[in-house]
Amino acid sequence: MIYQCTSCRRKSFETKCPWCTNAPVQASGQPAPAALQVPLDPSFYPEFQYQTKGFLKDLLGKKKEQAQLNDLLRAVLRKYSELKKPYFANFFHTVRNVGVEPSDAETPSARENGTYSNRELFREVLIRKGFTELEELPHLLDKLLLTTGFNSAYLGFSTEISRHIKGSLREILRSRIAEAGVSYRDDLSLLFYFLWDNNIRHPEIQYADQASSAFGTPLLPWQTVKTWLDVCEQINFDILVKRLATKLEFFDPNQFVTMYHVDAMNGYEFEKFLAQIFQTAGYDVEATKLSGDQGADLFVSKFGKKMVIQAKNYSGNVGNSAVQEAISAKSFYGCDDAMVVTNSYFTRSATELANAASVRLIGRRELQAYLDDHNQRIIEQFRLDGNDTEESTSQAFTGA
């Protein structure tokens, strides 16, 4: 099984996150609580594994108690499988912030002057649908929601990685790194899991297939993953060197867009330029009307997900109002995600609001990364056009 750590968000095949081996210390001097490893399959949560109390205690009747708990947990897995679509999946996608809130009650019910969190209402929906086990085991709801989120991320990852499946493992890695950069540092194990899950085998990788049913058995040893991380670092280094060499050879100041050009744009020019940026990055782009846009400047979509973008070409910091406009536009147009893009910076309160509402913020530093990618694609296209011209000229001279 593969897991995602709730602390560092990285993926691994280990029941304890190998990236977080040195647990942080809290201000009180006590070790911080251990990060939770979220499995792609909820049956791999520790609660669902048989925990022996010792041979004698098991022999003297504790097995019956464990059997009753196992029956209860099996019912949880069965009902989760039945309700995963549409209830869990739709709840996760429509209410992004699903953490436990102070107002949550252990037993969901109406109460005097009560305010109810989305998660608390969701639990009651499930109980009324027959998921009564959550009354006895309320803590499992949070874990099942985490698994739902991990499954959603894996689905999106699978769609993206499918485009990079080549003949050899190194070709797959090179293609993925060339497009996605250093995301392999977080997702390399997920890539290996995808290959195993889709029965795509390479001689360099020997999987422990029994890991699909044996709790605690990693699909790949951690040392194997580390070895291939080193390979990825070398591939990434080579790609960066070649890109710089190409940039030095084909650099044309008239073709490049710098942040100074962006700063000189007016609002309408900035929106048009962002449309070009996202089109170059492979998104489908749809502009909005110049007025009455309900807080939306652009719509971009990729892999079936639609995102609304609020563009702010400012000289000062961008505040809460831009984030609020993006939140409103996301709801009004029924988009999956919302983003605010600026050539400036965001205030602290805007950042806090965006984090709470799951709005993506692209400030000056992040926009520079988009510009670098945009300029790199210009270089690569220029080089391809040049090669085509050279080939045409060669064919003309040789009579091909």
Residue 336: Cβ-neighbour burial (10 angstroms; 0-12, 13-18, 19+): middle
Q: Which residue has the tokens 């953490």?
A: 99
For each of the chain's 400 residues, which pLDDT tens digit applies? 899 998 888 899 998 988 886 544 444 455 555 678 999 998 888 878 755 444 444 444 455 566 677 778 888 889 988 888 888 888 877 765 555 455 555 666 677 776 777 888 888 889 898 988 888 787 888 888 888 888 888 888 888 888 888 889 999 999 888 877 888 888 999 999 999 999 999 999 999 988 888 888 999 999 999 999 999 999 999 988 987 787 677 666 666 777 888 888 888 888 888 888 888 777 888 876 554 456 678 898 887 788 899 999 888 888 888 998 898 888 888 888 899 999 999 999 899 898 888 899 999 888 888 888 877 777 776 666 555 434 443 443 334 4
State which amino acid sits at residue 119. R
Q: In what order do the strands lie in the sheet with 284-287?
A: 284-287, 298-302, 305-312, 337-342, 360-362
Cα–Cα distance for residue pair 162/316, rounded to 1 Å: 42
State which amino acid sits at residue 41. D
Residue 38, SS3? strand
Torsion of CA 304, 11, 181, 385, to 10 degrees: -50
The DSSP line for 65-85 is HHHHHHHHHHHHHHHHHHHII
Backbone φ and ψ of 197, nearest 5°: -65, -30
Cα–Cα distance for residue pair 135/132, rounded to 1 Å: 6
Q: Is the pTM of this model over 0.85?
A: no
Residue 364, SS3? helix
The DSSP line for 116-178 is --HHHHHHHHHHHTT-THHHH-THHHHHHHHHHHHHHHHHHHHHHHGGG--SSHHHHHHHHHH
Kindly list the structural domains of the chain, giving each domain's residue range(s) and its CATH number in brackets, ordered by start.
Answer: 50-153 (no CATH), 156-250 (no CATH), 259-375 (3.40.1350.10)
Confirm if 322 and 312 have CB atoms less than 8 A apart: yes
Nearest Cα residue to 272 out of 297, 249, 253, 255? 297
3-state helix, strand, coil in the chain (%, to 5): 60, 10, 35
